[in-house]
Amino acid sequence: MYPWQQAAWTRLQQMRERLPHAILFHGPAGVGNAGFMESFAQALLCENVRPDGHACGSCASCGWFLQNNHPDYRRVRPEALEDEPAAEGEDAAEPAGKSKSSKAPSKEIKIEQIRALADFMNISTHRQGLRVVVLYPAESLNMPASNALLKTLEEPPPGTVFLLSSNSLDRLLPTILSRCRKFALPMPSHEEALAWLKEQGVQDADSWLREQGGAPLAALLEAESGSREEMEALLHFLANPAVDGALRTAEKLAKASLPALVAWQQRWLYDVFSVKLSGKIRYYPRYQRELAALAGRVSTGSLNRAIKAANERRAVADHPLSAKLFVEDMLLEYTSCCA
């Protein structure tokens, strides 16, 4: 549960008194709506709900839910989202799921997935409680699947609750809309989102957030993939150290998280040392060739000097006088030891 969802959560609890058979959560993408809905699903199934409406997290029902095998719970998503952990790939416009088969995983919810719910809804519940179906994003229902779902929503089986989520209501069939109770989820305020991103350790959080239109989870995702690029730029340099490369790379890494840079460099040096001693690589096996070349060429004394410098740098990485100078200095020092 994210801080900007608290008020909505409280508001949602009022619905528990007379639970509609279908709730359609709608709101902007990248703010955690699917996770919110899944928390509610878990709370509906929980056998020992807390006074604030949250699931207890420790009853048998919660245990099954958290292991993804609750007999009275089904989650329906496009195949392309199934490779990702629950609630994370939720709003991704282009899910990055990789299929093991050669065929690209479907981005649609198909009629077979809706038909498969029929059996689930025809047997009595295991815990004599509710049956909960979570479905998202609702706009990925293709036409046959929409029509099949519509039939179910027209004659809902007793004790069954549908929780749907959508980022674009205008892409849903009006007949589906009319059969669901709508529940709006808010966009967090800029301050709220910014504070949360900073807590996650995102550097330059304000620009990431702005670039993602204020959606904090989308910003986090981008910031993290941004740091992957930075890591590659750093590792590429560490594999081929040179003075001019140091200055160019420092330019590229100007916005990177300094503690992260130092940590990556420390791991790299660990690997070089380890290859030298035992031939083993722990962190960066994909750089096996480069690590072996360095290990063969750099003396143990120089390597120790580089490791000591990196350890000292780690201590000041949180408060450097100038980020750019810090990175340049770090890369030049490494060059003097390892080039």
Q: Which residues bind Zn ion (CB under 5 A)?
A: 46, 48, 55-56, 59, 62
C-beta closer to Zn ion: residue 55 or 317? 55
For the CB of residue 73, give the shortest distance to Zn ion in the complex, in Å: 13
Q: Which two tokens stand for residue 300?
A: 């143990």
Nearer to Zn ion by Cβ, of 129 and 159: the residue is 129
In the bound complex, what is the minimum distance in angstroms from residue 294's beta carbon to Zn ion?
53
Nearer to Zn ion, 65 or 264 (CB): 65
| Partners of 141 in beta bridges | 109
User: 209 near 197, Cβ under 8 Å?
Assistant: yes
Residues in Cβ contact with 127 at an 8 Å cutoff, skipping those fewer than 6 apart: 45, 47, 61, 71, 72
Instruction: Provide the minimum distance between the beta carbon of 60 and Zn ion in the complex, in angstroms, as a whole number.
Output: 8
Q: How far is the CB of 175 from Zn ion (least distance, A)?
A: 35
87/256 with CB nearer Zn ion: 87
Cβ-based nearer residue to Zn ion, 48 or 189: 48
- List the one residue out of 27, 63, 32 whose CA is nearest residue 45: 63
Question: Looking at this protein, which amino acid is placed at residue 296?
Answer: G
Structure tokens at 165: 């989520």
Q: Which is nearer to Zn ion, 59 or 195 (CB)?
A: 59
CA 16 – CA 29 distance, rounded (Å): 25
Contact 83, 105 (CB under 8 A): yes
Quick one: the chain helix, strand, coil %, rounded to 5? 55, 10, 35
Which among 142, 164, 143 has a CA at the least distance from the CA of 21?
164
As beta bridge partners, residue 266 has none
Residue 106 is classified by DSSP as P
As measured in angstroms, the least distance from the Cβ of 2 to Zn ion is 21
Q: Looking at beta carbons only, is 59 or 153 nearer to Zn ion?
A: 59
Per the CB < 8 A criterion, the answer to whether 315 and 275 are in contact is: no
Nearest approach in angstroms of CB 61 to Zn ion is: 5
Burial of 250 (0-12, 13-18, 19+ CB in 10 A): buried
Of the two residues 129 and 320, which places its CB atom closer to Zn ion in the complex?
Answer: 129
- Please, which residue, 60 or 93, has the CB nearer to Zn ion? 60
Cβ 47 to Zn ion shortest distance, Å: 6
Burial of 187 (0-12, 13-18, 19+ CB in 10 A): middle
> In this structure, are residues 154 and 179 in contact, taking their beta carbons and an 8 Å threshold?
yes
- Cβ of residue 6: shortest distance to Zn ion, in angstroms? 20
Q: How far apart are CB 41 and Zn ion at their closest, in Å?
A: 12
Residue type, 42: Q
Q: Residue written as tokens 């047997």?
A: 123
